[in-house]
Amino acid sequence: MPPPAPIAPRVLAAVRSAALDALAVLVPVTCVGCAAADRAVCGDCRLALLVTPRLVERPVLGAAWAGLEYSGRVANAIGAFKDGGRTDAAGALAGALGTAMAAALVGVPRGSVEVCTVPSTADAMRERGYAPVELLLARRGIRSSRVLRLARARSDQAGLGADGRRANAAGTLRARETLAGRRFLLVDDVLTTGSTLVEARRALAAAGGSVAAIAVLAETPLRRSVGAANARDGLRDIAAQGGYGGRTGVVDPPFSPG
Ligand SMILES: [Zn+2]
């Protein structure tokens, strides 16, 4: 018997869309971005989640690539995804993270680069039941290298200033093993002052590893973004390399399996 003809992606998308509509009728769903009675992410909010990756800078941390600005619909959607149990928004957010990661890797010398995330606290895992960043990465077919662990508890960062956050984060992470010669793309969800990522980089370096680049889903705009032009250049580079848009959305260098 001949193998079944492949189904065109557009047909699949239409079927999926119809199934989502049917589901929305059966189970009331509100949009994570604007609370409209619609799908998990309505059309307008899906547009808001389309990314222009931006290069941002923070004192001490340095440069990082962010997929989105943490405000408005985007902030609502990320909040609902992280702390409201709305894992149905993962698909829409995973694209933004993947694009930031691709932008961050442009210009990184070739060779193996592993993805490193900040481990969730036990309390956060218990409350959420999932690790938000790992879930987004999984949507792009990426698994992070679980090389960091919490060395001591850190308190909630909310309400702390830059100095307070740095003191709160210092010494909270430790590498599980020696990391000599290994390079990492540091990935996190929301960049505020960057204190968590500074601590992650310190812990990687203390074990002999290095950070090749940093990518976050969204940044809280504390100061003017340094890079609209850079972002455009980055996108052009990505397009030129033809590396974006594949299954993982990540350009060369390939990630080594975690
Ligand atoms: Zn919406």
Walk along the chain (258 residues) and give the pLDDT tens digit of each residue. Answer: 555 555 555 555 555 555 555 444 445 678 999 988 877 888 888 888 887 789 999 999 999 999 999 999 999 999 999 999 999 999 999 999 999 999 999 989 888 899 999 998 888 889 999 999 999 999 999 999 999 999 987 777 777 777 888 888 888 999 999 999 999 999 999 999 999 999 999 999 999 999 999 999 999 987 544 444 444 444 434 333 333 332 233 333 333 333
Say which residue the tokens 């020696």 belong to: 178
pLDDT of residue 239: 35
CB distance 54 to 100 below 8 Å = no
Q: How far is the CA of 258 from the centre of ligand 1 (A)?
A: 35
Q: Note the pLDDT of residue 216.
A: 97
Compute, in angstroms, the gap from residue 74 CA to the centroid of ligand 1.
Answer: 10
Query: Which residues fall within 8 angstroms of residue 1, CB to CB, at 6 or more apart?
Result: none
Q: Which pLDDT belongs to residue 8?
A: 55
Residues 219, 191 contacting (CB under 8 angstroms) = yes
DSSP E strands, 159-225: 173-175, 183-191, 210-219
Gap from CA of 181 to ligand 1 centroid (Å): 45
Residue 195, both tokens: 């204190």
Residue type, 221: P
Contact between 98 and 242 (Cβ < 8 Å): no
- Write down the pLDDT at residue 247: 28
Amino acid at 192: T
pLDDT at 142: 93
Pure H helices in 129-194: 132-139, 162-169
Residue with tokens 């030129």: 240
What are the structural domains, with CATH classification, of the chain? 50-241 (3.40.50)
Q: How much distance in Å is there from the Cα of 76 to the middle of ligand 1?
A: 9
> Which pLDDT value is given to residue 24?
46
Q: How far is the CA of 45 from the centre of ligand 1 (A)?
A: 4
The maximal CA–CA distance of the chain, rounded, in angstroms, is: 68
**CA 71–ligand 1 middle distance (angstroms):** 14
**Closest to 200 in 3D by CA, of 54, 209, 253, 96:** 209
Amino acid at 36: A
Q: Are 139 and 131 in contact (CB under 8 A)?
A: no
Q: How far is the CA of 38 from the centre of ligand 1 (A)?
A: 8
Q: Three-state SS for 69?
A: strand
* CA of 36 relative to ligand 1 center, distance in Å: 6
Integer CA distances (angstroms), 150 to 6, 171, 173, 176, in order: 46, 9, 5, 10
pTM recorded for the entire structure = 0.74
**Residue list, CB under 5 A from ion ligand 1:** 31, 33-34, 36, 42, 45
According to the model, what pLDDT value does residue 16 have? 54
Cα 33 to averaged position of ligand 1 atoms, centre (Å): 4
- Which DSSP letter does residue 210 get? E
Q: Where are the beta strands (DSSP E) in the chain?
A: 54-58, 62-69, 114-117, 148-150, 173-175, 183-191, 210-219
Q: How far is CA 214 from the centre of its chain?
A: 10
The CA-CA-CA angle for residues 64, 194, 168, to 5°, reads 160
Distance 203 CA to ligand 1 centre (A): 39
